């Protein structure tokens, strides 16, 4: 197992430095993918790169979406020879001190996708909480499994080999729809799931790029695509099951 960290970022310059500093004791390389941030955040990222030799920053020329930033990170990490990526958000929602537990779980089950199972405090917006519960139920239906506790949590440890195969074989969403779609496709490909409880806090005055209408529509469309794919694949899967293969 050879793991690195990744942080997708879009205009979270004020908070990303604290996240990076908290990750420093892990001694792991970190890939930050800047998804077209403004000059202020780019300055923060330049300062971070100067302070930490283990941080590599790459930039998108424009804002392409969180999913696009993660796909860039996964491909860069895979080409660099890493087997796993631990991703964490740049806005301070997650606890960097929990990352070792994700790494330990991946060490025990290297083929598994290790997902954060959020433990929310009172700061969570109710609309976001109810939306997550709905996504959870839909994903249970999409995968015919209760294995996934939360398909949206941005703190997770991703096995790269099956993930890159999926990215090469399917076109996934580039925005907030990417995380849940990837989870469903990994489960359908036979990837085991490990859920790790982790505290999630919504900082007061924090910047959220989740757009209730646009991103919920994107996520709904991703689930519709997954349903259509499942229907197309069902006859072949039933035939293989009948043959015992």
Question: 5-20: per-residue pLDDT in tens?
Answer: 999 999 999 999 999 9
Mean pLDDT of 193-204: 89
Mean pLDDT of 169-179: 86
> In this structure, which long-range contacts are made by residues 40-46, counting pairs with CB atoms below 8 Å and at least 24 apart in sequence?
40/11, 40/13, 41/9, 41/10, 41/11, 41/12, 41/13, 41/16, 42/13, 43/13, 44/13, 44/14, 44/16, 44/17, 45/9, 45/13, 45/16
* Mean pLDDT across the chain: 87
Domain that holds residue 174: 3-243
Reported confidence tier of residue 241, pLDDT bands at 50, 70, 90: very low
pLDDT tens digits, one per residue of 72-121: 999 999 999 999 999 999 999 999 999 999 999 999 999 999 999 999 88
Structure pTM?
A: 0.84
Q: CATH code at 224?
A: 3.90.550.10
Q: How many domains does the chain have?
A: 1
Higher-pLDDT residue of 241, 222: 222
């Amino acid at each position: 197992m050879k793991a690195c960290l990744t942080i997708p970022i879009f205009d979270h310059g004020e908070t990303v430095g604290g996240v990076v500093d908290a990750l420093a004791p892990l001694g792991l390389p970190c890939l930050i993918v800047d998804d077209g941030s403004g000059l202020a955040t780019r300055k923060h990222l330049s300062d971070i790169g100067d302070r930490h030799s283990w941080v590599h920053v790459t930039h998108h020329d424009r804002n392409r979406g969180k999913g696009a930033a993660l796909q860039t990170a996964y491909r860069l990490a895979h080409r660099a020879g890493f087997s796993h990526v631990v991703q964490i958000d740049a806005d301070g929602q997650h606890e960097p001190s929990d990352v070792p537990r994700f790494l330990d779980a991946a060490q025990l089950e290297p083929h598994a996708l290790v997902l954060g199972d959020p433990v929310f405090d009172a700061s969570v917006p109710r609309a976001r909480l109810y939306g997550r519960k709905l996504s959870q139920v839909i994903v249970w239906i999409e995968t015919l499994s209760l294995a996934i506790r939360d398909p949206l949590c941005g703190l997770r440890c991703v096995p790269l080999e099956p993930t890159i195969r999926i990215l090469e074989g399917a076109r996934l969403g580039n925005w907030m729809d990417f995380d849940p779609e990837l989870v469903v496709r990994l489960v359908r490909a036979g990837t085991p799931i490990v859920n790790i409880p982790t505290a999630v806090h919504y900082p007061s005055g924090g910047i959220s790029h989740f757009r209730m209408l646009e991103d919920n529509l994107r996520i709904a469309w991703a689930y519709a695509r997954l349903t259509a794919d499942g229907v197309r694949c069902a006859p072949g899967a039933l035939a293989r099951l009948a043959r015992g293969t």
